[in-house]
Amino acid sequence: MQIVKQLSILMENHPGVLSELTNVLAGGNINVVALTMSDSVDQGILRMVTDDPEKANQILSGTYDVRETDVLRVEMPNNPGSLASFSSKLGSAKINMEYIYASTGQDGKHTTVIIKVPDPKKAMEVLSRE
């Protein structure tokens, strides 16, 4: 579990825009660890965690509106009840999850969960307790 930088990018909601952005990242040898995209009529917000957020921000900032946010990255087993246990701990501590998204690893046994909480350090403390 760690606090990581998430990049939020405001993008036009048109075919090929995500392809262009991800090709730029690939050209910079940057791997996307997890991502989510929400849309509206004309624009979308792409939120992602990469293996090199500083370099990704540097590469993308010339073309896109990029914002950095601290989020919590948690690796957990990919099995029934893992997310329930995780969310119960935060709920019991009165920590609100503003949003959450996940990406399952290649082995299918682990899941990377990204959560936006008001205080990532406090959330880490709560989740580290047995």
| From 52-61, 63-72, 98-107, the region with the lowest mean pLDDT | 98-107
Count up the domains in the chain and report the number.
Answer: 1
Cα 78 → chain centroid: 17
Mean pLDDT of the chain: 90
Indicate whether 108 pLDDT > 90.
Answer: no
CB 37 within 8 A of CB 17: no
Residue whose C-alpha is closest to residue 49's, from 72, 27, 26, 16: 72
Beta bridge partners of 83: none
- What per-residue confidence (pLDDT) applies to 41? 72
Residue whose C-alpha is closest to residue 24's, from 56, 48, 65, 68: 56
Residue 99 domain boundaries: 1-130
Q: Which helix (H) or strand (E) holds 89?
A: helix 82-92
CATH of residue 127: 3.30.2130.10
- What per-residue confidence (pLDDT) applies to 130? 64
> What average pLDDT score do residues 58-84 get?
91
